[in-house]
Amino acid sequence: MTDQTSVATAAHSSRRPQTGQRIPLNTLAIAFGLAGLANIWVTASRLLGVTEVIGQVVWAGVVVAWVWLIVAHLRRGARSSETLAQQLRHPAQGPIAALVPVVGMLIGADLYRFWPVGGEILVVVSIVAAAAFAAWILAFWHTGALTPEAFHGGYLLPTVAAGLIAATTASKVGLPLLAIGSFAVGIFFWIVVSTVLLARLAFFSPLPAALTPTCAILLAPPAVAGTAWFTINGEHADLVSAALLGLLVLMALQQVALIPRYRMLPFTLGFWSFTFPLAAAGGSGVEWLSISAFPGWQFVAWTLVALVTVVIVAVGIRSLVLVSSVRRGVLRAESVLRRADNAVERG
């Protein structure tokens, strides 16, 4: 009887969910970066005459990556002792969850071109989800539970990235008032959050290596805001678009100055944080080049498209090598991100 009881207990234990840690939310940047790549190729098809097929193939990859990441996070979460609420309250990881609805907006805007009803529904649902998450995380920040060391570029995602991308996508699906309201939200929090972020970077200890690529997110707001303004107001030069271009140029020069520091970093999955900001800046650059229309502008535009593509493809290949070159490579790659997240949580 004792042996039978032991066997039954062991069998029951094997059926219980295994405890463990959730997948770091930093990995959601994979789908975000691919969405940036798809966007720049759609821009190239519109302004440079390249076939739309390339952009749509990349968009198909974005959908696969987005769905796969959501499913992977949910499956791991179901077996984890860590709750979703705990992960969302994590000072380093929590804000990055905004990428789920943000990528949903971008997918919906592209889907709208081929299926207007489905695309509009996905954009609106994603904007509602992003607004609800932004409200929740802003309320959580009011608790005073954060330390200055925990602040990184990902804190721009719930309000700034979500607001400005909502502005672009809402305008594309024919919701101009929602687009203007979202644009205002994005601009306001861009000023507020960037101020706090720059103060953190200047006056506190450097970010861990795996989180240092989030500094590249500072490049994204002026680029995304410029694209949003063009979508709302038309693709032409005016006071607002010129002001945003000036900010984009300064942020781009800052990233160039940071290249020596970036080159010292060991490769991690955190490098996906570089991808969307670079793609957004490249896409904005192509739009401005088409407006300026100086002789040979197409060559410069193609150079930007090629640069963005090479960097994102290189990050993708390095990521595949990283997770497949050693046994349990995925878990090892996750552990690097997790240690960095925990380091800033401890301050």
CATH number, domain of 263, equals 1.50.10.150
Task: Quote the CA–CA distance of 94 and 242 in Å, as a whole number.
Answer: 34
Average pLDDT for residues 148-163, to the nearest whole number? Answer: 94
Q: Residue 1: inside a domain, yes or no?
A: no
Q: Residue 4: inside a domain, yes or no?
A: no
Task: Quote the CA–CA distance of 157 and 154 in Å, as a whole number.
Answer: 6
Decide if pLDDT at 19 tops 60: no
Decide if pLDDT at 265 tops 50: yes
Domain residue limits at 220: 23-74+83-346
The whole model's pTM is what? 0.91
For residue 25, give the DSSP letter.
G
What pLDDT is recorded for position 329?
74
Q: Residue 197: inside a domain, yes or no?
A: yes
Task: Quote the CA–CA distance of 78 and 73 in Å, as a whole number.
Answer: 9
Q: For tokens 């970010």, name the residue.
A: 207
Q: Which two tokens stand for residue 1?
A: 């009887």
Please state, as a whole number, how many other Cβ atoms lie within 10 Å of the Cβ of residue 292.
10
Q: Residue 6: inside a domain, yes or no?
A: no
Query: Among the listed ranges 94-108, 306-320, 331-345, which one has the minimum average pLDDT value?
Result: 331-345
For residue 229, count CB atoms less than 10 angstroms from its CB and return exposed for 0-12, middle for 13-18, buried for 19 or more: buried
Decide if pLDDT at 18 tops 60: no
Decide if pLDDT at 7 tops 80: no
pLDDT band of 15, cuts 50, 70, 90: very low
Q: Residue 18: inside a domain, yes or no?
A: no
Task: Quote the CA–CA distance of 98 and 156 in Å, as a whole number.
Answer: 10
For residue 157, give the DSSP letter.
I
Q: How far is CA 96 from CA 10, 133, 152, 316, 333, in A?
A: 38, 11, 10, 19, 18
Q: Residue 145: inside a domain, yes or no?
A: yes
38-43 — which CB contacts under 8 Å span 24+ positions?
A: 38/62, 38/106, 38/110, 39/106, 39/279, 39/280, 39/283, 40/279, 40/282, 40/283, 40/286, 40/304, 40/305, 40/308, 40/309, 41/305, 41/309, 42/110, 43/283, 43/286, 43/287
**Domain total in the chain:** 1
Residue type, 220: A
- Mean predicted lDDT score pLDDT of the chain: 91
For residue 204, give the DSSP letter.
S
Residue 254 near residue 215, CB atoms below 8 Å = no
Compute CA 253 distance to the chain's CA centroid, rounded to the nearest angstrom: 21
Compute CA 126 distance to the chain's CA centroid, rounded to the nearest angstrom: 14
What pLDDT is recorded for position 315?
97
Decide if pLDDT at 61 tops 80: yes
pLDDT higher for 13 or 214? 214
What pLDDT is recorded for position 110?
97
Query: Of how many residues is the chain composed?
Result: 347
What pLDDT is recorded for position 326?
66
Give which of 68, 74, 64, 70 is closest to 35, Cα–Cα.
Answer: 64
Residue type, 218: L
pLDDT digit string, tens, across residues 184-195: 999 999 999 999
What pLDDT is recorded for position 346?
67
